[in-house]
Chains A and B, each alone.
Chain A
Amino acid sequence: MTATIPRLGYADLGSLMDLQLGDEKHTRSATSTLDVIWVLYDRILHVSPDRVDDPDRDRFLLSKGHGPMAYYAVLAAKGFIDVDALRTFGRYDSVLGHHPDRNLVAGIEISSGSLGHGLGIAVGMALGLRARHSPARVFCLVGDAELDEGSNHEAIAFAGRAGLDSLVCVAVDNQSSSHGWPGGLAARFALEGWSSTTVDGRDHDLLERAFNAEHRGRPLAIVAVVESKG
Chain B
Amino acid sequence: MSATMRERFYATAADLVESDERIAMVFADIGVGRLGNAERTHADRVINVGIREQLMIGVASGLALTGFRPIVHSFAPFAVERPFEMLKLDLGHVDVGAIVVSVGASYDTAVYGRTHEAPEDVSLLSALPGWRIYVPGHPAEAELLLRAAARTDERVYLRLSEQSNRLARPITPGRLYIERRGTEATVIAAGPLLDATLEATADMDVTVLYMTTPRPFDADTLHASLAGDLVVLVEPYLAGTSSAEVAAALADIPHRIATIGVPNVEHRKYGTWQDHNAAHGLDARGIRTRILRALSRGA
The interface of chain A, by Cβ under 8 A from chain B, is 55, 101-103, 109-111, 114, 116-117, 119-132, 134, 150-151, 154-155, 157-158
| Known contacts A102-B94, A111-B89; A124 and B65 CB within 8 A of each other | yes
Residues of B within 8 A of A128 (CB): 24, 62-63, 65-68
B61 is an interface residue with CB less than 8 A from chain A: yes
How many chain B residues have a CB neighbour from A under 8 Å?
Answer: 29
B52 is an interface residue with CB less than 8 A from chain A: yes
**A131, B95: Cβ atoms closer than 8 Å:** no
Residues of A within 8 A of B52 (CB): 154-155, 157-158
Residues of B within 8 A of A126 (CB): 62
B73 is an interface residue with CB less than 8 A from chain A: no
| Known contacts A102-B94, A151-B55, A154-B54; A127 and B85 CB within 8 A of each other | no
**A155, B58: Cβ atoms closer than 8 Å:** yes
Residues of A within 8 A of B208 (CB): none
B266 is an interface residue with CB less than 8 A from chain A: no
| Known contacts A111-B93, A127-B47, A131-B44; A121 and B61 CB within 8 A of each other | yes
Between A and B, how many residue pairs show CB distances below 8 Å? 102
Residue of B with least CB distance to A114? B89
**A120, B90: Cβ atoms closer than 8 Å:** yes
Give the Cβ gap from B175 to chain A, nearest Cβ, in Å.
30
Kindly identify, within residues 40 to 63 of chain B, every residue whose CB is under 8 Å from any CB belonging to chain A: 44-45, 47, 49-50, 52, 54-55, 57-63
**A121, B65: Cβ atoms closer than 8 Å:** yes
Residue of B with least CB distance to A119? B58
B86 is an interface residue with CB less than 8 A from chain A: yes
**A124, B58: Cβ atoms closer than 8 Å:** yes
**A117, B90: Cβ atoms closer than 8 Å:** yes
Partner of B89, one of A117, A150, A155: A117
Flag B76-110 by CB within 8 Å of A: 1 or 0 each.
00000000011001100111000000000000000
Please report the C-alpha to C-alpha distance between residue A114 and residue B93 in the assembled complex, in whole angstroms.
Answer: 11
Give the Cβ gap from B47 to chain A, nearest Cβ, in Å.
6
Residue of A with least CB distance to B61? A121
**A131, B65: Cβ atoms closer than 8 Å:** no
28 contacts between A and B (CB under 8 A): A55-B67, A101-B93, A102-B94, A109-B65, A110-B61, A110-B65, A111-B94, A111-B95, A114-B89, A116-B54, A119-B58, A120-B54, A120-B59, A121-B58, A123-B62, A124-B65, A124-B70, A127-B59, A128-B68, A131-B44, A131-B66, A150-B54, A151-B55, A154-B49, A154-B50, A154-B54, A155-B55, A158-B52
**B62, A121: Cβ atoms closer than 8 Å:** yes
Give the Cβ gap from A186 to chain B, nearest Cβ, in Å.
21
Residue of B with least CB distance to A118? B58
Please report the C-alpha to C-alpha distance between residue A121 and residue B24 in the assembled complex, in whole angstroms.
Answer: 15
Residues of B within 8 A of A122 (CB): 62
| Known contacts A55-B66, A128-B67, A130-B44; A120 and B58 CB within 8 A of each other | yes
Residues of B within 8 A of A134 (CB): 66
Please report the C-alpha to C-alpha distance between residue A124 and residue B54 in the assembled complex, in whole angstroms.
Answer: 12
**A124, B59: Cβ atoms closer than 8 Å:** yes
Residue with the greatest number of chain A CB neighbours at <10 A, chosen from B50, B64, B94: B94
Residues of A within 8 A of B62 (CB): 120-128
